[in-house]
Amino acid sequence: MAALLHLTVGLAVSPLTAIRHVRLEMDGAGADAQGMAQRLDSLRGRPWLLVGANLPRSLVAQDHWVRGVEWKSNPFGYAVAKVYIRRPVAVLGNEHGKTLLTEDGMWLPGSPTAGLPKVKVPQGSFSASSGLASLSDGPRLARWVVRVTKSFEGLAEVELSDTGVLSLQSKSGPRIVFGSWDRLEDKLRRATGILAEAKPGAADVLNVTVPESPVLTRDQSKR
Protein backbone atom coordinates (compact mmCIF):
# COMPACT_ATOMS: atom_id res chain seq x y z
CA MET A 1 0.00 0.00 0.00
CA ALA A 2 2.81 2.39 0.94
CA ALA A 3 4.62 1.58 -2.28
CA LEU A 4 1.49 2.35 -4.31
CA LEU A 5 1.07 5.65 -2.48
CA HIS A 6 4.67 6.62 -3.17
CA LEU A 7 4.24 5.69 -6.82
CA THR A 8 1.08 7.78 -7.12
CA VAL A 9 2.64 10.81 -5.48
CA GLY A 10 5.77 10.38 -7.54
CA LEU A 11 3.82 10.38 -10.78
CA ALA A 12 1.76 13.39 -9.69
CA VAL A 13 4.85 15.54 -9.17
CA SER A 14 6.94 14.13 -12.01
CA PRO A 15 7.49 15.68 -15.46
CA LEU A 16 5.27 12.92 -16.88
CA THR A 17 2.19 14.66 -15.45
CA ALA A 18 3.38 18.20 -16.04
CA ILE A 19 0.97 20.70 -17.58
CA ARG A 20 1.63 20.98 -21.30
CA HIS A 21 -1.51 22.69 -22.67
CA VAL A 22 -3.52 25.49 -21.09
CA ARG A 23 -6.73 26.62 -22.78
CA LEU A 24 -8.20 30.03 -21.93
CA GLU A 25 -11.97 30.46 -22.14
CA MET A 26 -13.65 33.83 -21.59
CA ASP A 27 -17.36 34.59 -21.27
CA GLY A 28 -17.04 38.19 -22.45
CA ALA A 29 -14.83 40.91 -23.88
CA GLY A 30 -12.91 43.76 -22.30
CA ALA A 31 -10.08 41.91 -20.58
CA ASP A 32 -6.56 41.49 -21.96
CA ALA A 33 -6.87 37.94 -23.29
CA GLN A 34 -3.37 37.95 -24.75
CA GLY A 35 -1.79 39.03 -21.47
CA MET A 36 -3.73 36.42 -19.50
CA ALA A 37 -2.77 33.68 -21.96
CA GLN A 38 0.90 34.62 -21.67
CA ARG A 39 0.79 34.51 -17.87
CA LEU A 40 -0.99 31.15 -17.90
CA ASP A 41 1.65 29.79 -20.26
CA SER A 42 4.12 30.15 -17.39
CA LEU A 43 2.39 27.15 -15.80
CA ARG A 44 3.44 24.80 -18.56
CA GLY A 45 6.04 22.31 -17.42
CA ARG A 46 4.95 22.45 -13.78
CA PRO A 47 3.81 19.20 -12.13
CA TRP A 48 0.05 18.86 -12.22
CA LEU A 49 -0.35 18.20 -8.50
CA LEU A 50 1.66 21.28 -7.56
CA VAL A 51 -0.53 23.68 -9.52
CA GLY A 52 -3.65 24.31 -7.46
CA ALA A 53 -6.45 26.70 -8.36
CA ASN A 54 -5.04 29.67 -6.43
CA LEU A 55 -1.97 30.20 -8.61
CA PRO A 56 -3.85 30.34 -11.96
CA ARG A 57 -6.46 32.61 -10.39
CA SER A 58 -3.80 35.00 -9.14
CA LEU A 59 -2.21 35.13 -12.60
CA VAL A 60 -5.51 35.87 -14.33
CA ALA A 61 -6.96 38.19 -11.68
CA GLN A 62 -4.20 40.74 -12.36
CA ASP A 63 -6.65 42.01 -14.96
CA HIS A 64 -9.30 44.03 -13.10
CA TRP A 65 -11.96 43.07 -15.64
CA VAL A 66 -11.87 39.51 -14.31
CA ARG A 67 -14.82 38.72 -12.02
CA GLY A 68 -14.00 35.07 -11.36
CA VAL A 69 -11.92 32.11 -12.53
CA GLU A 70 -12.56 28.37 -12.71
CA TRP A 71 -9.50 26.15 -13.06
CA LYS A 72 -9.63 22.53 -14.17
CA SER A 73 -6.66 20.29 -14.88
CA ASN A 74 -5.81 16.62 -15.16
CA PRO A 75 -2.69 14.45 -14.91
CA PHE A 76 -2.54 14.07 -18.68
CA GLY A 77 -1.11 17.55 -19.23
CA TYR A 78 -4.29 19.49 -20.03
CA ALA A 79 -5.76 22.45 -18.15
CA VAL A 80 -8.60 24.91 -18.75
CA ALA A 81 -9.01 28.36 -17.23
CA LYS A 82 -12.62 29.58 -17.54
CA VAL A 83 -12.59 33.33 -16.95
CA TYR A 84 -15.72 35.32 -16.12
CA ILE A 85 -15.55 38.94 -17.21
CA ARG A 86 -17.27 41.90 -15.60
CA ARG A 87 -20.06 43.27 -17.80
CA PRO A 88 -20.15 47.05 -18.43
CA VAL A 89 -23.55 48.67 -17.91
CA ALA A 90 -22.69 52.33 -18.56
CA VAL A 91 -19.95 54.70 -19.64
CA LEU A 92 -18.84 57.57 -17.44
CA GLY A 93 -20.23 60.78 -18.90
CA ASN A 94 -17.82 63.08 -17.05
CA GLU A 95 -14.55 64.10 -18.67
CA HIS A 96 -12.45 61.17 -17.49
CA GLY A 97 -11.69 59.45 -20.77
CA LYS A 98 -12.93 55.98 -21.53
CA THR A 99 -14.15 54.74 -18.16
CA LEU A 100 -16.90 52.16 -17.78
CA LEU A 101 -19.19 51.25 -14.89
CA THR A 102 -19.47 47.49 -14.43
CA GLU A 103 -22.46 45.51 -13.21
CA ASP A 104 -20.88 45.13 -9.76
CA GLY A 105 -20.13 48.83 -9.41
CA MET A 106 -16.48 49.08 -10.41
CA TRP A 107 -15.12 51.88 -12.58
CA LEU A 108 -12.64 50.46 -15.09
CA PRO A 109 -10.85 51.76 -18.17
CA GLY A 110 -12.12 50.35 -21.43
CA SER A 111 -13.70 51.06 -24.79
CA PRO A 112 -17.43 51.90 -24.59
CA THR A 113 -19.82 49.43 -26.16
CA ALA A 114 -22.43 50.80 -28.56
CA GLY A 115 -25.75 51.40 -26.83
CA LEU A 116 -24.43 51.87 -23.30
CA PRO A 117 -26.05 54.77 -21.44
CA LYS A 118 -23.95 57.54 -19.93
CA VAL A 119 -23.60 58.05 -16.19
CA LYS A 120 -22.78 61.44 -14.74
CA VAL A 121 -21.49 61.66 -11.17
CA PRO A 122 -20.56 64.67 -8.99
CA GLN A 123 -17.34 66.40 -9.94
CA GLY A 124 -14.61 65.58 -7.45
CA SER A 125 -16.21 62.34 -6.27
CA PHE A 126 -14.30 60.29 -8.81
CA SER A 127 -10.78 59.11 -8.12
CA ALA A 128 -8.60 56.74 -10.10
CA SER A 129 -5.39 54.88 -9.34
CA SER A 130 -3.69 51.81 -10.74
CA GLY A 131 -6.34 51.47 -13.42
CA LEU A 132 -9.15 51.33 -10.85
CA ALA A 133 -11.56 54.03 -9.86
CA SER A 134 -13.71 54.29 -6.77
CA LEU A 135 -17.01 55.97 -6.02
CA SER A 136 -18.92 54.99 -2.90
CA ASP A 137 -22.20 54.82 -4.80
CA GLY A 138 -20.74 52.67 -7.58
CA PRO A 139 -22.48 49.36 -6.74
CA ARG A 140 -25.79 51.02 -5.94
CA LEU A 141 -25.59 53.15 -9.06
CA ALA A 142 -24.82 50.09 -11.19
CA ARG A 143 -27.87 48.24 -9.85
CA TRP A 144 -30.00 51.31 -10.58
CA VAL A 145 -28.70 51.60 -14.15
CA VAL A 146 -29.52 47.94 -14.79
CA ARG A 147 -32.99 48.44 -13.32
CA VAL A 148 -33.94 51.52 -15.33
CA THR A 149 -32.41 50.16 -18.53
CA LYS A 150 -35.04 47.42 -18.37
CA SER A 151 -37.82 49.97 -17.78
CA PHE A 152 -36.97 52.67 -20.32
CA GLU A 153 -36.24 51.89 -23.93
CA GLY A 154 -33.40 53.95 -25.34
CA LEU A 155 -31.98 55.06 -22.00
CA ALA A 156 -29.43 57.78 -22.78
CA GLU A 157 -28.21 59.11 -19.44
CA VAL A 158 -28.39 58.56 -15.68
CA GLU A 159 -27.19 61.37 -13.43
CA LEU A 160 -26.29 61.59 -9.76
CA SER A 161 -26.01 65.30 -8.97
CA ASP A 162 -23.79 67.10 -6.45
CA THR A 163 -26.78 67.21 -4.08
CA GLY A 164 -27.52 63.50 -4.40
CA VAL A 165 -30.45 63.87 -6.80
CA LEU A 166 -31.01 60.98 -9.21
CA SER A 167 -32.43 61.60 -12.66
CA LEU A 168 -32.45 60.01 -16.08
CA GLN A 169 -32.99 60.96 -19.69
CA SER A 170 -34.20 58.60 -22.41
CA LYS A 171 -33.69 59.27 -26.09
CA SER A 172 -37.38 60.10 -26.35
CA GLY A 173 -39.53 61.35 -23.52
CA PRO A 174 -39.10 63.76 -20.62
CA ARG A 175 -36.26 63.92 -18.16
CA ILE A 176 -37.31 62.04 -15.02
CA VAL A 177 -36.22 63.33 -11.63
CA PHE A 178 -36.29 60.74 -8.84
CA GLY A 179 -34.68 62.74 -6.06
CA SER A 180 -32.93 60.74 -3.33
CA TRP A 181 -32.31 56.98 -3.15
CA ASP A 182 -35.38 56.55 -0.95
CA ARG A 183 -38.43 54.68 -2.30
CA LEU A 184 -36.95 54.27 -5.77
CA GLU A 185 -39.23 51.38 -6.70
CA ASP A 186 -42.32 53.44 -5.80
CA LYS A 187 -40.99 56.35 -7.84
CA LEU A 188 -40.16 54.12 -10.78
CA ARG A 189 -43.63 52.54 -10.82
CA ARG A 190 -45.22 55.99 -10.67
CA ALA A 191 -43.06 57.32 -13.51
CA THR A 192 -43.67 54.38 -15.85
CA GLY A 193 -47.41 54.54 -15.14
CA ILE A 194 -47.60 58.24 -15.98
CA LEU A 195 -45.53 57.92 -19.15
CA ALA A 196 -47.68 55.02 -20.34
CA GLU A 197 -50.71 57.34 -20.34
CA ALA A 198 -49.11 60.66 -21.29
CA LYS A 199 -49.12 61.97 -24.83
CA PRO A 200 -45.74 62.21 -26.57
CA GLY A 201 -44.19 65.62 -25.93
CA ALA A 202 -46.62 66.44 -23.13
CA ALA A 203 -43.79 67.54 -20.83
CA ASP A 204 -40.04 68.02 -20.74
CA VAL A 205 -39.56 67.06 -17.08
CA LEU A 206 -41.36 64.53 -14.87
CA ASN A 207 -40.58 64.91 -11.19
CA VAL A 208 -41.50 61.93 -9.00
CA THR A 209 -39.43 62.91 -5.98
CA VAL A 210 -42.69 62.54 -4.06
CA PRO A 211 -44.39 59.69 -5.95
CA GLU A 212 -47.83 60.57 -4.53
CA SER A 213 -47.52 64.07 -6.03
CA PRO A 214 -45.79 63.82 -9.42
CA VAL A 215 -45.18 67.02 -11.36
CA LEU A 216 -45.01 67.39 -15.15
CA THR A 217 -43.42 70.61 -16.37
CA ARG A 218 -42.18 72.28 -19.52
CA ASP A 219 -38.63 73.50 -19.94
CA GLN A 220 -39.16 77.09 -21.01
CA SER A 221 -35.58 77.31 -22.30
CA LYS A 222 -36.60 74.91 -25.05
CA ARG A 223 -39.57 77.00 -26.14
DSSP single-letter state for residue 18: B
In the chain, what percentage of residues exceed pLDDT 90? 42
One DSSP character per residue, 134-160 reads E-TTHHHHHHHHHHHHHHSTTEEEEEE
What's the burial of 22, exposed, middle or buried (CB within 10 Å: 0-12/13-18/19+)? buried
What domains are defined for the chain? Answer: 2-85 (3.10.20), 88-222 (3.40.50.11690)
pLDDT(5) > 50:
no
Convert the pLDDT of each residue in 37-77 to its tens digit.
999 999 999 988 888 889 999 998 888 899 999 999 988 99
3-state secondary structure of 167: strand
Of 42-51, 88-97, 205-214, which range is least confident? 88-97
> Taking residues 89-113, what's their average pLDDT?
80
pLDDT computed for residue 3 by the predictor: 44
Quick one: pLDDT at residue 38?
Answer: 93
Q: How far apart are CA 109 and CA 90, in angstroms?
A: 12
Indicate the Cα dihedral angle 195, 201, 202, 203, nearest 10°: 90
Share of the chain above pLDDT 70, in %: 83
Instruction: Write out the DSSP string of 177-223.
Output: EEESSTTHHHHHHHHHHHHHHSPTTS-SEEE-SSTTS-EEE--GGG-
pTM exceeds 0.85 for this model: no
What integer pLDDT is reported at residue 173 of this predicted model?
A: 86
Is the model more confident about 50 or about 212? 212
CA 73/CA 22 separation, integer angstroms: 9
